[in-house]
Every structure is written in C-alpha cells, then in structure tokens.
Amino acid sequence: MISDVIKEAKQRMDKTIEALRNELKGVRTGRANTNLLDGIMVDYYGTASALNQVANVAVQDARTLTVTPWEKNMIEPIEKAIMASNLGLNPVSAGMVIRIPLPPLTEERRKELVKMVGQIAENSKISIRNLRRDANSQLKTMESNNELTEDDLRGGEKQVQEVTDEYIKKVENVVAEKEHELMDI
C-alpha cells in the first residue's frame, strides 16, 4: 500500500525532472543549439504551429543556426516569429535559408539567464512539494479508511519526505550543471 503511493510519487517526480531538463534546453548557452528555437510558434495559414513543423532547423556552426522553410512564402512569418520571441535574435534571410547568428553572451546577459534558470528550478521544486502533499494526503485517506495504522502513516510520511528530499537534490544538481554551462566562457 505505502510502497504503491511512493512508487507513484517517484514516477511523477521523475516526470518533473524530465520537464525541467526539457525546459532548460531552451535556455541559451554560448553555443548554437536547435532546442533554442523549440518554443517559437509561427503563423501557418492562420494556425499557430511550432517552428520545427514548418521548417528544418539545423546548426550551421558553433554560432549560427539555419532555418530552411518547406514553403517559400513562410520565410517572412518565420522571421517575424523569431524576432518576436524574447531570445534577442536577429534572423537574416538569404534566399530559401534563414541564418540566425548568435551574438556572444555578455556577462550581464549570462547573469540574467542564471536568474531565469533559478526561477525555473523553483517552479520544479514547488511541483515536487505539491506531489509530496498529494502522496501524504493519499496516505492520510488510507489511514482514515482504516487501511493503515497511525504508525504506518508516520512511517509512510517519513518515506515520502525522504523521496522528496532526494528529488529536490536532483533539481539542484541539474540547475547547477546548467548554471555552470551558462557561466562557462
């Protein structure tokens, strides 16, 4: 009984860690990465579509991304979407290819990105704590239904807290890795 609740909590916390990693992929570091453009939505004939669904995104070199639209008339909407994103990028159109040079990060911009990473991490920690609360409430419900004794409830809550601490530590490790990557010149 208790093991099922803890197993479910661990699975949900694993998903939170995975979501954190995916979100951090979109935070720009010093080198070009196609994940940088993942969150950009383009107006495709009146429908908001992900950039990678209307064009091919590739890394040309360490400081340049290329976007090759599948339709010639999509060049302008893609450029507008990239400029409208809050990434500070200026696309340059060259025929059927849009080149996106990535300017070097300034110290000030790196610090802003580290702050942003910290906020993302805090949101992940809050999600993990909410999962702890859910697991504890499941245990309390089981106790009130006489499926658990009071001692089992206390032991279960202790186990849930240990799992929560473990996953908070994982969040901190993932974030420390990203911050190091950001501050590395």
Assigned fold of 34-101: Gyrase A; domain 2 (3.30.1360)
Which residue, chain included where needed, has tokens 């501050």?
183
CB burial of 26-63 (b: ≥16 within 10 Å; e: otherwise) equals ebbbbebbbebbeebebebeeeebebeebbebeeeeee
Q: CATH homologous superfamily for 2-26+106-183?
A: Ribosome-recycling factor (1.10.132.20)
> What's the DSSP call for residue 54?
T
pLDDT for 171 beyond 90: yes
- At residue 28, the pLDDT reads 66
Domains of the chain: which residue ranges? 2-26+106-183, 34-101
- At residue 114, the pLDDT reads 85
Give tens-digit pLDDT for 83-115. 887 777 788 888 889 888 887 777 887 888 888
- At residue 30, the pLDDT reads 64
Q: How many CA atoms lie within 13 A of 76 on its CB side?
A: 2
Q: Is 101 left (phi over 0), alpha (psi -120 to 50) or beta?
A: beta
More confident residue, 185 or 49: 49
Among 24-38, 39-53, 146-160, the range of highest mean pLDDT: 146-160
